[in-house]
């Protein structure tokens, strides 16, 4: 951030603090915001060939914005990533314009590049079951095999993100009928725990050579430290290759599958939204990857005027 003027740097940090305190933004989101906006401010300084104080930043033109976008794309950044960066810059400018009293039209009017949204690819129910069976065969060490099965069962059976499953501690065992999970942005939700997940975790705990303590990670690596997501990702990669499944059969795909299988069984979209911890229903619809006909079927059955 050495190219950024002190005033601009201070404004960026104040905005990030605002996002953290009032918007309850997740730390990963704040880190991305910081990098994206700092990168933009550094470009503008270089582009204008002089330090950019707040007054100069308020005079950014559409041409300046297009120059930044062209430079970013020429650096190998894809349309999806550029759209994310532009979104961060626009959010910063909305806040800055309100605080400093200028019109941010030049920044806000710039359109994001079009890109094809990638829909999640849930696994069919039999494929999900087969994957868990294959995962159990990946290690000849019984407790390691039980550990990997327990983690993946939590992803599919409870709709957890892999980070959420790995954040469980010894205090969470034995698993109760419901878990209180802290997800993205510090948002809490309550998810039911199926007997299959309880049994899988119980088997792992019984076989695990490491003593479970309330303040330490439930899932351990072979040396006793907290298990990282990379280990589960590698295990799933080996299992899916054996089964001939596509590369989209990742740990997160099991979460997609959780949502899709619930909906196919007649689950309510709002209830599934709560279980997944999504802020908006549209996100849940994308995760479930259902077609318009299926959504209309749910709507017609559920709407009181149908």
Q: Tens-digit pLDDT profile for the chain (306 aa)? A: 457 888 889 999 999 998 887 766 677 788 889 999 999 999 998 888 887 788 888 888 999 999 999 999 888 888 888 888 999 999 999 999 999 999 989 899 888 877 655 555 667 777 778 888 888 898 899 999 999 999 988 888 777 888 889 999 999 889 888 888 777 667 777 777 888 889 999 999 999 999 889 999 999 999 999 999 999 999 988 988 888 887 877 777 777 776 665 555 555 555 555 555 555 545 555 555 554 455 556 566 665 654
**Among the three residues 82, 108, 134, which one is the final residue of a domain in this structure?**
108
Say yes or no: 213 and 84 in one domain. Answer: no
Residue pair 219/151 in contact (Cβ under 8 Å)? The answer is yes
Which structural domain, as residue segments, surrounds residue 43? 6-108
Say yes or no: 163 and 55 in one domain. Answer: no
Say yes or no: 129 and 246 in one domain. Answer: yes
Say yes or no: 96 and 54 in one domain. Answer: yes
Say yes or no: 55 and 133 in one domain. Answer: no
pTM (predicted TM-score): 0.57
Active site residues: 161, 184, 252, 255, 278, 287
The vertex-154 CA angle with 273 and 209, nearest 5°, equals 155
* 115 within some domain: no
- CA torsion sign for 191, 183, 288, 238 is negative
Say yes or no: 152 and 288 in one domain. Answer: yes
Say yes or no: 160 and 254 in one domain. Answer: yes
Say yes or no: 103 and 155 in one domain. Answer: no
- What are the Cα distances from residue 9, in Å, to 94, 210, 255? 16, 47, 39
Q: In the chain, how many domains are there?
A: 2
Say yes or no: 166 and 285 in one domain. Answer: yes
The DSSP H or E segment spanning 192 is strand 188-192
**Among the three residues 55, 81, 108, which one is the final residue of a domain in this structure?**
108
For residue 99, the domain's CATH number is 1.10.150
* 1 within some domain: no
Say yes or no: 94 and 181 in one domain. Answer: no
d(CA 81, CA 219): 33
């Amino acid at each position: 951030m050495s190219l950024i003027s002190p005033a601009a740097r201070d404004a960026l940090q104040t905005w990030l603090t605002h996002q953290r305190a009032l918007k309850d933004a997740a730390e990963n989101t704040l880190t991305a915001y910081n990098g994206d906006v700092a990168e933009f401010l550094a470009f503008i300084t270089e582009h204008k060939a002089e330090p950019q104080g707040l007054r100069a930043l308020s005079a950014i033109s559409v041409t300046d914005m297009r120059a930044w976008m062209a430079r970013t794309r020429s650096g190998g950044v894809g349309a999806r990533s550029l759209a994310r960066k532009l979104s961060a810059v626009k959010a910063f400018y909305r806040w800055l314009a309100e605080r400093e009293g200028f019109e941010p039209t030049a920044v806000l009017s710039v359109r994001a590049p079009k890109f094809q949204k990638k829909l999640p690819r849930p696994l069919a129910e039999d494929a999900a079951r087969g994957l868990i069976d294959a995962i159990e065969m990946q290690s000849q060490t019984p407790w390691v095999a039980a550990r990997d099965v327990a983690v993946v069962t939590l992803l599919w059976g409870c709709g957890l993100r892999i980070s959420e499953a790995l954040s469980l501690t010894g205090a969470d065992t034995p698993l109760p009928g419901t878990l209180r999970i802290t997800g993205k942005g510090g948002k809490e939700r309550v998810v039911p725990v199926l007997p299959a997940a309880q049994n899988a975790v119980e088997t792992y705990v019984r076989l695990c050579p490491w003593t479970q303590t309330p303040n330490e990670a439930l899932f351990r690596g072979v040396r006793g430290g907290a298990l990282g997501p990379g280990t589960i990702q590698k295990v799933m990669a080996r299992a899916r290759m054996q089964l001939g499944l596509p590369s989209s059969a990742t740990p997160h795909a099991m979460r997609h599958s959780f949502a899709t299988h619930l909906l196919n069984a007649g689950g309510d979209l709002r209830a599934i939204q709560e279980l997944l911890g999504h802020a908006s229903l549209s996100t849940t619809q994308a995760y479930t990857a259902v077609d318009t006909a299926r959504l209309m079927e749910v709507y017609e059955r559920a709407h009181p005027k149908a």
